[in-house]
Amino acid sequence: MASAALLLAGCGGEPAGPSADFDPNAPVTLDLAFWGNDTRAGFYKNAIAKFNEKYPKITVNSTFLPFPEFWEKRQIEAAGRDLPDVMQFDYAYLRQYSQNRLLLDLKPYLGKYIKTDGFTESTLGIGVVNGVTTALPIGTNAWAMFTNTALVTKTGAGAYPGGTSWDEYATWMGAVAKAGGGSVWGGTDPTGRIQNFEISLRADGKNLFDDAGAPQFTKAELAEFWGRGAQVRGTGATIPTKRLLEVAPKSGFGAGLTTSELTWDNFGAGYAGDLGADASGLALTAPPVTKAGAKDLYLKPSMLHAIAANSEHPEASALLVDFLLNSQEAGAVFGTNRGLPASSTHLAGVKLDPLSQKILDYETSIKDRLGAAPPVPVVGYGSIEEKFRQLGEELGLGTVTVEQAVDQFFSEMDTILKK
Is 126 within 8 Å of 231 (Cβ atoms)? no
Within 10 angstroms of residue 357's Cβ, the number of other Cβ atoms is: 12
pLDDT tens-digit profile, the chain (419 residues): 334 344 434 434 455 688 888 999 999 999 999 998 998 999 999 999 999 999 999 999 999 998 889 999 999 999 999 999 999 999 989 999 999 999 999 999 999 999 999 998 888 988 999 899 999 999 989 999 999 999 999 999 999 988 899 999 999 999 999 999 999 999 999 999 999 999 999 999 999 999 889 999 999 999 999 999 999 999 999 999 999 999 998 999 999 999 999 999 988 888 888 898 767 789 999 999 999 999 999 998 989 999 999 999 999 999 999 999 999 999 999 988 888 899 999 999 999 988 889 999 999 999 999 998 899 999 989 889 999 999 999 999 999 999 999 999 999 999 999 97
The CA-atom distances, in angstroms, between 286 and each of 172, 237, 270, 337, 395 are 15, 19, 19, 24, 26
The CA-atom distances, in angstroms, between 111 and each of 118, 249, 308 are 11, 44, 19
In whole angstroms, give the CA distance from residue 189 to residue 178.
16
In whole angstroms, give the CA distance from residue 35 to residue 231.
42
pLDDT at 8: 37
pLDDT at 276: 85
* Angle at 234 (CA atoms; ends 228, 239), nearest 5 degrees: 95
Collapsing DSSP states into helix, strand and coil, what is residue 129?
Answer: strand
Q: Which residues contact 26 (CB under 8 A, 6 or more apart)?
A: 57
In whole angstroms, give the CA distance from residue 168 to residue 7.
49
pLDDT at 273: 86
In 3D space, the residue among 387, 381, 384, 385 whose CA is nearest the CA of residue 92 turns out to be 381
Collapsing DSSP states into helix, strand and coil, what is residue 415?
Answer: helix
In whole angstroms, give the CA distance from residue 172 to residue 304.
37
